[in-house]
Amino acid sequence: MSVWLPSAPCTPGTCVEAGRGARVRGAVRLVAVVVLVLAGIAGSLAARRLPGALVRGWARSVVRASGVRVRITGAAPGEGGLLVVANHISWLDVPLLAAVRPARMLAKREIRQWPIAGPLAARTALFIDRDRLRALPATVARIAEALRAGQAVAVFPEGSTWCGREHGRFRRAVFQAALDAGTPVQPVRIRYRTADGAPSTAPAFVGDDALLTSVWRVVTARRLVAEVEVLPVVESAGFPDRKSLARAAEVGS
């Protein structure tokens, strides 16, 4: 088991709903998503820093193009240096967090090799090698440096994706960066539902699921809704250690 990747019991065969949508509609949505991601790559290459409103609008467009409605509720996210933490279910979680607050994403090193999304992540992400325990202090230090510089850093502290019906505990290491930098933590809760409000596991990207398989399941699904709840900011200064800060910021799915 990887240091950064605790095992989750969720697997495609036992947890994920099979898609039953139209293939033609799915193909149209898939093309739209690819076009938008390519546009995002082009924009990030053309400008060193894009306006936050533009990034939020682009991120919402990616999710909507995949056929998923977006509902964002709760408080406005904090400004300046901010550690954004959320439960992790799907690849859709990344643009959903960007729709709330554009941030540098803490991402596994393997994402660099992903088609289309990899080059975009390489422009903004902080990459980690989850198989090297010795890399942990340096990773925390890089996050703290970004926070001190007034940047937002987005992290999925569960360390693995879950199906949405179950969730993991927040691993505490990254919370040390917020303590070291003296910056607040912004918890965000993500849920996926059908249009009638029932929980849906169709967007889950779990176990040995292939990325393209997961993407196709989403774009062919019908009437999915992503609910994003921005919870009150947790001030790191009020906590004596990273364990207590992680527990205070933990959100369930």
The pLDDT tens digits of the residues spanning 53-67 come to 899 999 999 999 999
- Give CA angle at 95 (19, 65), nearest 5°: 50
Other Cβ atoms less than 10 A from the Cβ of 23: the count is 11
Residue listed under structure tokens 């509609």: 25
* Cβ atoms of 3 and 130 closer than 8 Å: yes
Largest Cα–Cα separation, the chain: 55
Sorted by where each begins, the domain ranges of the chain are 12-249
Residue 174 token pair:
């990254």
- Percent of the chain residues past pLDDT 70, beyond the cut: 84
Of 3, 4, 1, 6, the C-alpha closest to 168 is: 6
In terms of pLDDT, which residue wins out, 168 or 186?
186
Residue 243 token pair:
């364990």
Domain 12-249, CATH: 3.40.1130
Cα gap 60→190, rounded to integer Å: 14
Per-residue model confidence as pLDDT tens digits over 97-150:
999 999 988 876 666 666 666 666 666 667 666 666 677 788 899 999 999 999
Per-residue model confidence as pLDDT tens digits over 180-219:
999 999 999 999 999 999 999 999 998 888 889 999 999 9
- Percent of the chain residues past pLDDT 90, beyond the cut: 56
Cα gap 85→251, rounded to integer Å: 9
Residue 173 token pair:
């290491």
Residue listed under structure tokens 């967090």: 97
Strand partners, 230: 74, 188
Average pLDDT, the chain: 86
Cα gap 110→117, rounded to integer Å: 11
Residue 210 token pair:
């292939």
What band does 1 get if pLDDT is binned at 50, 70 and 90? very low
